[in-house]
Amino acid sequence: MKLTILFGGASFEHEISIVSAITIKEKLAGFDLSFVFCDSDHTFYLIDPSKMKAVTFSKGEHKKMPQLTLTHGAFAQKKGVFGGAVEHNNVVLNLIHGADGEDGTIAALLDFYSIKYIGPRVDACIFSYDKRYTKYLCEAINVKSVRYEVAHKDELGNISISYPLIVKPTRLGSSIGVSIVKDESELDYALDVAFEFDSVVIVEPFLEGVKEYNLAGYFADGAMHYSIVEEPYKEEFLDFEKKYMDFSRSEQVLKADISTELEARLKANFDKVYRGMFEGALIRCDFFVHNDEVMLNEINPIPGSMANYLFEDFEKVIESLSSSLPHAKRPKVSYEYIHSISKAKGK
């Protein structure tokens, strides 16, 4: 199968996306892969697969490779001054983490040019990228989530959640800018850190004794398909460096030792989140279980390395998903209205 991996982007998670793309190359070794890198200035480059190494980008060697533009249904590579363009019209796998990839920018661009892609569509990005909107989604579809308050940089009110608590930028992943605050003396610093990355933050209680479970899945061939349920190794807090290394995971993890009843509850909540919004994407939902309540912690619309480590046959997953992508129907423009007006005026 031919597949184009799109990665990079202008975000704080730019380097994480590079790590993800390098890992996915290994996991999809049986595919005919091409790689399109979106630089931080939004220039697209066709990357030689043999050069898919971190130093290619850190040293700027990618800038010597062919630049690409977009055309209907494809990325286009210009050939010479007088030559035409070579079109790269494979299905695209959106592997841009954070801004650009997960905020709807790339989804809108690919939709605009009618390029087929694996990844969240614009509306799905909106409700998963901003943690406030994820909370609103939970309320709308009757999925429980952790209690929260919102703090604005220019209108900071009193926070009523008891300590310890967690402070998070609303539009950022990979634990960037996230702090655990154990008492009031640490709050101002935690807010300053979070506000370095976003003008709005989410404040949540730090839940003692919480269990965390990760579940990935996708819709294809008329049915939902789920990964195993993972209980991730949990320190008090997974910081950026630990999350960064997590994005390069390729070894399949062990299934969590949980009851069939709890697994069914996790899948039922996942289904509520996914249906009618995330078709065309492989997502991972991270759940908390606290006092026997299942709560959604966050939606990962483009999980690191696409959560390959949760699936036994990841190549089969991508092949199945790529053959079940939604197709947006464009209205046919006939100009009947304009013609009728012109006819009525005798013109």
CATH architecture of 149-205: 2-Layer Sandwich (3.30)
Report the CATH architecture of 2-119. 3-Layer(aba) Sandwich (3.40)
pLDDT for 347? 58
pLDDT at 92 over 90: yes
Residue 224, sorted as left (phi over 0), alpha (psi -120 to 50) or beta, turns out to be beta
pLDDT score of 238 more than 60: no
> Which tens digit of pLDDT belongs to each residue from 11-49?
989 999 999 999 999 999 999 999 999 999 999 999 999
**Is the pLDDT confidence value at 177 over 80?**
yes
Cβ count near 79 (within 10 Å): 11
Going from the C-alpha of 178 to that of each of 103, 153, 231, 244, the distances in angstroms are 19, 15, 21, 14
Class of domain 126-144+208-322: alpha beta
Query: What's the sign of the alpha-carbon dihedral 137, 142, 143, 147?
Result: positive
Are the CB atoms for 24 and 6 separated by under 8 Å?
no
The rounded distance, in Å, linking the Cα atoms of 163 and 194 is 17
Per-domain residue ranges of the chain: 2-119, 126-144+208-322, 149-205
Q: How far apart are CA 217 and CA 224, in angstroms?
A: 7
pLDDT at position 248, please? Answer: 61
CA distances from 181 to 126, 159, 194, 317 (A): 28, 12, 12, 40
pLDDT at 309 over 90: yes
Q: Percent of the chain at pLDDT above 90? A: 78
